[in-house]
Every structure is written in structure tokens, then in C-alpha cells.
Amino acid sequence: MPFTFAHPAAAIPLQRILKHRAVLSALVIGSMAPDFQNFLPFDVERADSHSFAGMFWFSLPVGMAIFLVFHLLLKKPLCSLLPTSIGARLSPVLHGPSLPPVSGSAIVCSLLLGTLTHLAWDAFTHYTVVTTSALPVLSRHLFSVGGYHVYLYKLLQHASSLIGTLLVGYWCLRGLRRAPLPAQSPPSLLTWRQRCAVIGILLLAPPLIGCGRAAHSWLVSYVPVILNDLVREAVVTAISSFGILVILYSMIWHGIVRKPQEPSSSSHPSGFPFPSAKAHGQKPSTLVSK
């Protein structure tokens, strides 16, 4: 599969096109939602979550749950891990209300649009009806590496993952640079040592857990294990472990760190450090006209 966190590269440009009618955080979450079946304890097959029907019975409810968890639980603790010079630009997010002031219909439509970009991307980078019937050239075998067969759609899969990840990183950095600095930087909610300790755990523990899980599967297996399967198991386990650790840290943060009083409005309706529609004198987000 294309790297899950590269998928927002196809959804983020929609916010520029739709402007205040879209919710950026919902677009981003929706663009990754079909892949959540890999990381959640649900017995859901990929073919089911990556289908048109799966958009509504899997991606939409799971995406909405992740949207709420992100804004209510994860957003502020994650922002507080950033260096003070960067975190100051996110003070409206860190010290503002948890939920963005957008309509439910805008959130739902943004989640579905994000999911559509995911399905469209995967249609050209997987063994699907597109790569076998509509564009059979994409199923052309290129070469093999240790029993791992590389087809043209696989090459597109890995190349688009790299390009998408780089684009997402670039847009995040650009958004942070464009976010205005406050006249007076708010005090940091975590000390430098606390931030380093948490970041160290979040970055080091998941890869170790993932590699340990893959090594265990290799040692206890009675049949030859394909390297591609071991790598996939290590990556999926690492991402799942990272999510669990982030949730645990966020729960501790909310329970221990003293939170400032929240104002009644936010200058970042999208929940991300990008200029909001309100900042440009536009109306709050809505995708469904009254």
C-alpha cells in the first residue's frame, strides 16, 4: 500500500480549491481512513474498507471518531511537544477551544472527499480493475527481488509514497512559517527535558516494538517467511504502537498539565496551523447550503 501518511498529499490541495467550504483536518483524516483497518483491532478486510460502500460504513464513522479524538485529546498535547519558537505560532490552537467551529455537514463531506482521494490513488497503485482491465500496462512485470515481484503499479506505489510524504512535510513546514507570531509568546506547558523525554519515547519505542514483533514471527514460523510480509508486519506494528503511545501521553498530559482557560472562539477552524477562512473574512465552513 502507499504509505498511509503520504495520502494527505492528495487531499490537502482540495482545501485550497474549496476554501472555507472544507475542513482541512477532516480532509486529512478522511484521506487516511481506509487504511485504519490495518491499525485498529477490527476484523475488516482491505477490500471492504477500500470500497465505495466502505466509505460510509467504515471510513466515515472511523474517520469521525478519529477527528474527535484528534481535536479533543491529541491536538494540544502534540502541539506542546514542539519547540517554543514553533509552538508560539500555534498558540491559538494550543490555548483555543478543542473543537473547531465548523458545521457537522462540512466535517462529513470533507471526510468523504478525503476518502475518495485515497480510493482514487490506490486504484492506480494496486492490483485492481484499473490496473488489470482499464490500464493493463500498469500490471506489467518489471523485475523481482528475492521472490518479491515488482510490477509497474508497485513501482508507482512506492514512488508516489515517497513524493507524497515529501509534499506533506513541505506543506506542514510552509504552514508553520506562514502562521503569525504572537506579540507575546505564551509560557511553555512542558519543560525542555520533558519534551525531549516524550519525543524520544515516541520515536524510539515504536520501531523497536515493530522489529521485535517481526523477529518473533520469523522465529516461531514453521514455514519460510517472505521478507515483504515481515517488513509490513514491522511497519504496521510500529504505527499501531506509536498511536497507542500518543494516546497514553495525551491522557497523562490532560490529567497533569494545567490547562489555561479556553476562549470562546478560535482563529484556526481547520485545527491545523494554516490560515483560517475566518482570518480572511470568509464565512465559517459549510459544504451543504441551507
Q: CA–CA distance from 62 to each of 39, 65, 71, 129 (Å)?
A: 12, 5, 14, 26
Residue 76 pLDDT greater than 60, yes or no: yes
Residue 286 is predicted with a pLDDT of 47
Residue 264 is predicted with a pLDDT of 42
Residue 204 is predicted with a pLDDT of 97
More confident residue, 86 or 13: 13
| Terminal Cα distance for the chain, rounded | 39
The mean pLDDT value for 266-273 works out to 47
Residue 68 is predicted with a pLDDT of 97
Beta bridge partners of 148: 145
Residue 105 pLDDT greater than 70, yes or no: yes
0.85 exceeded by pTM: no
Give the percent of the chain with pLDDT over 90: 51
Identify which of 161, 198, 187, 169 has the alpha carbon closest to the alpha carbon of residue 260: 187
Residue 146 is predicted with a pLDDT of 66
The mean pLDDT value for 190-206 works out to 95
Question: Strand, helix or coil at 212?
Answer: helix
Q: What value does the mean pLDDT of the chain take?
A: 85
Q: What is the pLDDT of residues 200-258, one digit of tens each?
A: 999 999 999 999 999 998 888 766 767 778 888 999 999 999 999 999 999 999 998 75
The mean pLDDT value for 72-94 works out to 87
Q: CA–CA distance from 210 to each of 49, 63, 152, 218 (Å)?
A: 24, 24, 28, 12
